[in-house]
Amino acid sequence: MSRFLVMPVVGCCIPISALPAAFDGAISITSPVGQGPLARNLPDDVRTIQEALNQVTVNGLPGGPIPFLVVDGIKGPKTQSAIINFQRFQVKEMGNPDGLVEPGKKTILRLNQIVTPQSKFDLNAKLAVALPRAKAGLSAAARNIAAVISGGPGASPVAEDRLNRHFLLNTLDPAKQSSARITLFETFSEMGFVIDQPELFGMLGAIEAFDVDPSNAKIALTAPGGVFEPPLIDGDDNPARHIRLGFGFFAPSVTPDFGSFIITHELSHFTGRRDGETIGDNGRGWFNDTFIVPLSAAERLLNADSYAGFAYECLTESAVKPPFVKTAPGGRGGAR
CA contacts within 13 A on the Cβ side of 89? 16
**pTM, whole model, 2 decimals?**
0.75
**Least confident window among 40-54, 113-127, 258-272, 290-304:** 113-127
- The residue among 246, 194, 205 whose CA lies nearest residue 27 is 246
Q: What is the DSSP string of 168-195?
A: -GGGS-HHHHHHHHHHHHHHHHHHHHHH
Question: Which pLDDT belongs to residue 15?
Answer: 38
Query: pLDDT category, 87, cuts 50, 70, 90?
Result: very high
pLDDT at 258 over 90: yes
pLDDT, mean of residues 169-174: 96
Residue 151 has pLDDT above 60, yes or no: yes
The mean pLDDT value for 117-123 works out to 77
Q: How large is the average pLDDT for residues 94-123?
A: 84
| pLDDT recorded at residue 208 | 87
Give CA–CA dist 287/300, Å, rounded: 9
Instruction: Please tell me the distance from the alpha carbon of residue 75 to that of residue 81, in angstroms, as a whole number.
Output: 10
Find the mean pLDDT for residues 187-209: 91
Count of CB atoms within 10 A of residue 320's CB? 8
Bond from prior residue into 67 cis (ω within 30 degrees of 0) = yes
CATH class of the region 120-334: alpha beta
Contact 266, 7 (CB under 8 A): yes
**Cα gap 14→197, rounded to integer Å:** 28
* Residue 209, C-beta contacts closer than 8 angstroms, at least 6 positions apart: 194, 195, 198, 201, 203, 227, 241, 242, 243, 270
**In the predicted model, is pLDDT for residue 330 greater than 90?**
no
14/19 Cα distance (integer angstroms): 7
CATH among 1.10.3470, 3.30.160, 1.10.101, 3.40.50 for 27-115: 1.10.101
DSSP result, 77-106 = HHHHHHHHHHHHHH-GGG-S--SEE-TTSH
**Chain mean position to CA 162:** 23
Domain boundaries of the chain, sorted by first residue: 27-115, 120-334
Residue 114's pLDDT band (cuts 50, 70, 90): confident
Task: Round to whole Å and give the CA distance between 311 and 101.
Answer: 37
